[in-house]
Every structure is written in structure tokens, then in C-alpha cells.
Amino acid sequence: MAEVQSFDNLLACRNLLKASVDNSTALALALDKTGPRIAELDQKLTFLEMAIRPGGSKNCTFAAVRDHISLALGPSAAVLKILDSIRELEKSLLSDSLPHSDIFSYISTIKQFEDAIKFLTANCNLAIQWLEGVIQFLEGNSVADDRYISKVKRSVAILEELQATGEQAGRNGELLSGAFAKLEISFKQILTESNAPLGFTNSSSPWTAEQAYNAALPLPGPILRKLQAIVEKLNTGNRTNSCISVFTEVRSLNAKNSLRALDLDYLENAVEEYDDVQDMEGCIHEWSKHMEFIVKCVLESEHMLCKEVFGSLASGAWTGCFAKIAVESGILLFLRFGMSIAESKKSPTKLLHLLNIFSVLETLRMDFNKLFGGESCNEIKTMTRDLVTKVVNGASEIFWELPLQVELERRSSPPSDGGVPRLVSFVTDYCNWLLDDNYRPILTQVLRIHQGWKYEKYEEGLVTNQIYSIVREIAVNLDAWSKAYERKALSYIFMMNNHCHFTSLKGTKLGNLMGDSWLNAHGNYKEYYSALYLRETWGKILASLTQDNPDSSPKMRLMAFNEAFDDLYKKQLNWVVIDESLTNKMHKLVVQALVPAYTSYLQKYRVVVEHRSDVFYTVQSLETMLNTLFKAKQVKYTSSTIGSHLTGEQRNAVIDQLRLTLTAM
């Protein structure tokens, strides 16, 4: 209302100024008529020679006053016209309706108003200068009376008041402030109505360039041009802070809504809360997809939009705006999740987790540099740098400790059933994972970076040499464990199983690395320990039948054989052979060694057998019992089952055991 009253005063001033200008015009006409009359009098009064000059001086004076008034009339008339235009523009700017439906016309009206104010002040200044000249001239030459001079001075005062009012209006006066406030409201309304969260595609494949580009266009072109026009107009009045604040708030909410459909509870959980290794692997897999989505899709679009809307501002405000949106979107929460993995207790699987995290960060490295390279994103940039440092150092440290870690497990006990130790199964699978195409390039890059940080040259073959060291430690462990068995036969079963396990690595990454000669050697050792087992067990009890002993009767030898068989069978009932084909082969060898000899002996001493048939095994029962050996917990190891033959509980037990070892180091 103050602005309206101000312009009502201006209107009154305009009327007074118009009257003053009319009086000035009348004075000029009167002066024009007075000049010739004085000239005529000068001609008639020739006898007053000294009066001629004053008469000519007055004629010149009147002409000068007329010129000054004429020059003042033009700017004064322009002031009157521009006041009418300002009044009409004022009505448009004070309209109750919001301008967002025709924002460009409203911005044009504001510009016309600003130009009118500038034109008003410029013409006021020019008219004031000429009228002040008239006053000075009249006062110096006593041409007009004081009443007329007072009116001219009043006109000057009115023009000065108009000029001051125009200058104030041009510096965000109440009317302009109201117009800018409408623009700010329209900015928020346009932005809010155009908001739409981005959808997440749960796909295992990475984002394509086309997908990322399409996702980075969150607003239609016409909407974007409206926002740009509002920002550019508000910038002329230094009124962009409100728009930046609104934009940050609205777009931050949109980014959060884009992530709301995702299940992000895992980001809040501590690493220790994951009891199962596979649960952690699943969370890291989800993290990698979500991380790619928020960076390549959500934040890429926000980055582009910030630059498009506020890029014209010389202050570079758009980078600070984007930084706030990025923080509000939750990117720091994703980085903290990676940090929690990097800071967790050491374990073999942690190395794989760290490599997965590094792979994601490396994939997004160019995006991070583009989005968060500015000073405004220092918090994100610093946390990302710290995360990369912890990942590289942590992964390298665990990798270098692996052989020693395997060596320290030498003190543990071997399986009571003669099977393959969980540690051996896990470590061979683990080596296959490290050599896999999904991990080996990443591991190599991590080690190369780590060596560079220490100013050491990276040597090719470093990864394979470390794998060789791990395998050597496993072999030494097997020798030590085999000696821990009280029964030689069980130690032979143990060694046979483990050599069989190594033989089954043919076709895997580890098997290919170790080579055919290594695989064949384990095959030969498998046969060797198989033969030792047969000789140590069934070969000894078979001797009680085949060797003649004059001190024992056939009946006693048969009873001794049955007792020895029964005892040996019971001892081996829980022993295992891990490979089905090897089990079948062992059955066949044992049956071939015992059954024919036993059959022959029974036929030879049929009379004895017939009298005590309830004491001795039949050939069929003997063969049936032999075929039931080695079938407990039987597992078939092939290249397709590497990494899957350990249950989650078993693998967790191995990892916990190795974690304790690593933590103690």
C-alpha cells in the first residue's frame, strides 16, 4: 500500500508539474511579445544613445530565457508521459494472480517497469538541470517576479522528488520486491509441479550411456526455460538466494523419493550384524547396484539440472546447490557403508568384499570426478578418498598375509573321518575366486596402486607367485595333519582324499595356473595312497586266510578273519571318500582283494563252515558290507561346484577361524 500511496503522490506531483510547465510556456510567449516592443521603443528613443544597448541586452535576455524554458519542456513532457506508462505497468504487477502460466510476459512487464523507472529518473535529472538554469538566469537578470520564480523552484522540487522515488523503485522498491516475490512463488510452484522421482531398474547389467543420458533429463525443455528466465530476472535484483534454497529443498526431496522405493535398511546395519557371509555378499551386491543408480542416474540428473538452472550466475552458486542436494540424497550414507566394510575385522572374505567395493568405485571414478570435483563437494570428495585408501590398504594387507594365515592353521586338527579339511576346500576355492576374471584384474590394479603409494615398482606375476605360496603352505599343512592320525590307514585315506581334491581342480583357474604336471602328480599320489590303504587294512586281514599257519586250525583262521573284518569294518564305518568315482573304485578293489579269496576259503573248508554258519559272514553279506563303506558325507568335486560345496555354516566356521588368525597377527 505504501507503494500505491507513493504513486498517488507522484500523480499529484505530475499535475502540479504540468501546471508549472504551462505557466512557463505562457511566460515564454509573453517574453516573445515583449522583445519586439522593446526593440521598437529603442528605435523611437534614438536621442538616448545609452539606452539602445540595454534594450538590445534585454532582447538577448528574453531569447535566452525562452531557449532555457524550451529545452526544459521536452524532458518535463517525457516525465508526464512515462508516469502514465508506469501507472499502467503498476496495475499489471500488482495483479492478484500468480504469473507462472505466462511467466515470460510477466518478466517482460517487470523489465518494462524497470526501464520506465530508469527513463523517468533520467528525464527528471535533465529537466531539473534546465529548470535550475532558468532559475539561475531569471534571478541573475531580474526578468521575472518572485512569484514565478517560486513556481519554477517548486517544479524543480517535484522533479527531484520524482527522481528520488524512481531511484528507490529501481533499487528493489516495494513494487519490484512484490513482483520478485511472485516470481519466487512461481519458481517453487513450477518446480514442485514438475517433480517426479526416477525409477530404479533392478538389473544386473551396468547402466548404458543412453540410459544415463535419458535419466539425466528430469525436466521438459519448456519448464527448464521458465526456471532459467525467472533465475536470470531475479539475479538482476540480487534475489536468487530464495530460489536456490527452494530448489535445493525440492530437488533434495525428489532425490530421496527416487531412493525411497529401494530397500536401503542394510546401509544402517553394522557389519557385525550379518551372521552369514552370503548375507553380506548380497548386501554388497545390492550396494553396488544402488550406488551406480544414485550416481549415474539420480545425481547426474541433479548435477545437470543445477547447472542448467543456475549456470548463468557468475557466483558459481549452482555447484554449492548441487553439493547440498548430493548430501541430502544420502550419498554419504552409501560411502559410510563401504567404510564400515573397510574398517571391519580382517578375514579372507573381507578381501573379496573390498575388491567388490573397489570395482564399483573404479567404475564410477569418472562420474565422481565430474560430479564431486568442485570445492563445494569437499566432504564427499574427502570421504571417497579415505574410502579408496582404506580399501586399497586393507585388501593389500590381507592378500599379503594369506600364506602366513594358512601356515598358522597348521596347529589345528585334521578331520576325524579322513575327509578334506574345510580350510583346504575354502582356500582352493578362494584361490579360484582371486584368479577369476571378475577379481584378478581388480586385485592386480589394487596391488599396483598400493605398490605405487609405497614408491615400489609393481612386478608382473606378483599375484600368481602369491597363489603358489598359498598352495605350498597347504601342502605342508597336509603333511603335518596326516601325521596327527593314530591309524595309518586313516592318514592314507586322508591323503588320498586331498590329492583327489587337488586332481579335481583340473579345468579351474587354479588348476590351469598350477599346470598339468602338478595335477598329474596329485593323481599319482592319489593312487599311491590308495594302494597303501589297501595294504595296511584289507591286505593284513586277508593274510590270515591265505597264509598257512600250522598252529591254527581252519576254523580258528576263519574266526580270526571274521573278527578282524568286523573290527576293521566298524572302525572305517565313518571314514569318507570324497569322490564318488573314487569310492566305487575303492569298493571294487577291496571286493576284488577279499571276496574271491574268502569264497575260495569257504569252499575249501565247507564242512567247518556248515557247522558254524551262524558265526561266519557269507560271501554276499561280506560284499554288501564292503559296498557300504566310505559313503558318509560323500561330496563330488568338479569345476562346476567350486565355491559351492561348503554350506553357509561350514564356510562361516572356516572364515571365523581364519578371522581369528588374521586378527591376532
3-class DSSP string for 493-540: HHHHHHHHHHHCCCCCHHHHHHCHHHHHHHHHHHHHHHHHHHHHCHHH
The residue ranking higher by pLDDT, 202 or 48, is: 202
Residue 550 burial (CB count, 10 A): 5
pLDDT at position 194, please?
83
The mean pLDDT of 581-603, rounded to a whole number, is 87
CB 100 within 8 A of CB 189: yes
Give the pLDDT of residue 542.
82
pLDDT score recorded for residue 208: 54
CA distance 626 to 586: 10
pLDDT of 281: 85
Indicate if the pLDDT at residue 30 is higher than 90: no
Which band of pLDDT confidence, cut at 50, 70 and 90, is reported for residue 100?
Answer: low
pLDDT at position 642:
33
Residue 45: pLDDT band with limits 50, 70, 90 = very low
> Does the predicted TM-score (pTM) go above 0.75?
no
Higher pLDDT pick, 33 / 573: 573
More confident residue, 22 or 137: 137
Residue-level pLDDT at 23: 42
The answer to whether 360 and 292 are in contact (CB under 8 A) is yes
pLDDT digits (tens, 9 = 90+) for 300-317: 999 999 999 998 887 778
- Residue 140 pLDDT class (50, 70, 90 cuts): low
CB proximity list for 402: less than 8 A, separation 6 or greater: 348, 466, 469, 470
pLDDT at 517 (0 to 100): 96
Return the pLDDT at 635. Answer: 44
pLDDT of residue 646: 44
Q: Lowest-confidence range among 201-215, 241-255, 382-396?
A: 201-215
CA 223 to each of CA 110, 185, 226, 291, 312: distance values in angstroms, whole numbers, following the listed order: 20, 15, 5, 29, 17
Mean pLDDT of the 524-550 span: 85
Count CB-CB contacts under 10 A for residue 436.
16
Residue 213 has pLDDT above 90, yes or no: no
Instruction: Work out the average pLDDT over 157-180.
Output: 65
Cβ of 194: how many Cβ atoms within 10 Å? Answer: 17
Confidence of residue 13 (pLDDT cuts 50, 70, 90): very low
What confidence score (pLDDT) does residue 593 get?
86
48 pLDDT band, cuts 50/70/90, is: very low
Least trusted range by pLDDT, from 6-15, 518-527, 616-625: 6-15
Residue 15 pLDDT: 54
For 434-454, what is the mean pLDDT? 95
381, three cell numbers:
570428495
Q: What is the pLDDT of residue 336?
A: 95
| Mean predicted confidence (pLDDT) in 455-461 | 88
Greater confidence (79 vs 294) lies with 294
Mean pLDDT of 233-245: 87
Q: Is the pLDDT of residue 27 over 50?
A: no
pLDDT greater than 70 at residue 170: no
Give the residue, 476 or 643, on which the prediction is more confident.
476
Query: Per residue, what are the HEC states of 2-63?
Result: HHHHHHHHHHHHHHHHHHHHHHHHHHHHHHHHHHHHHHHHHHHCCCCHHHHHHHHHHHHHHH
Return the pLDDT at 512: 96
Residues 127-151 have a mean pLDDT of 66
Q: Which residue reads 564399483 in cell numbers?
A: 360
Q: Give the contacts of 63 (CB within 8 A, at least 6 positions apart).
A: 35
Q: Across 70-74, 91-95, 518-522, which has the greatest mean pLDDT? A: 518-522
Report residue 320 as a C-alpha cell: 554449492
- Residue 607: which pLDDT band, with cuts at 50, 70 and 90? low
Mark 273-299 as b/e (b = at least 16 C-beta within 10 Å): ebeebeebeebbebbbbbbbbbbbbbb
Least confident of 83-92, 162-171, 217-226, 567-576: 162-171
Q: What is the mean pLDDT of the chain?
A: 78
Average pLDDT of 73-100?
65
Domains of the chain: 59-168 (1.20.58), 206-377 (no CATH), 412-631 (1.20.1280.170)
| Residue with the larger pLDDT of the pair 378 and 211 | 378
Query: Of the given ranges (49-53, 427-431, 468-472), which has the lowest mean pLDDT?
Result: 49-53
Residue 384, C-alpha cell as written in the block: 571417497
Where do the DSSP E strands lie in 243-288? none
- pLDDT level of residue 97 (50, 70, 90 thresholds): low
Q: What is the mean pLDDT of residues 326-354?
A: 93
What pLDDT, on the 0 to 100 scale, is given for residue 74?
64
Question: Is the Cα torsion angle 653, 654, 657, 663 positive or negative in sign?
Answer: negative
Query: Is the pLDDT assigned to residue 58 strictly greater than 70?
Result: no
Comparing CA positions, the residue from 328, 94, 104, 88 lying closest to residue 230 is 104
Q: If you average pLDDT over each of 97-106, 175-184, 373-382, which comes out highest?
A: 373-382
The dihedral sign for the CA sequence 449, 454, 457, 462: negative
- pLDDT at position 34 is 33
User: According to the model, what pLDDT value does residue 17 have?
Assistant: 46
pLDDT value of residue 32: 42
At residue 353, the pLDDT reads: 94
Q: What pLDDT, on the 0 to 100 scale, is given for residue 136?
A: 67
pLDDT band at 154 (very low <50, low <70, confident <90, very high): confident
Contact between 24 and 100 (Cβ < 8 Å): no
Residue 232 confidence (pLDDT) above 50: yes
- In this predicted structure, which of 88-102, 298-312, 529-543 has the lowest mean pLDDT? 88-102
How high is the pLDDT of residue 128?
67
Cell of 408: 598358522
Cα distance between residue 7 and residue 119, in whole Å? 16
pLDDT at 560: 83
For residue 662, the model assigns a pLDDT of 45
- Contact yes or no for 552/608 (Cβ under 8 A): no
Q: How far is CA 105 from the centre of its chain?
A: 41
For CA atoms 476, 478, 480, 483, the dihedral sign is negative
* pLDDT at position 653 over 70: no
Q: Does residue 571 surpass a pLDDT of 50?
A: yes
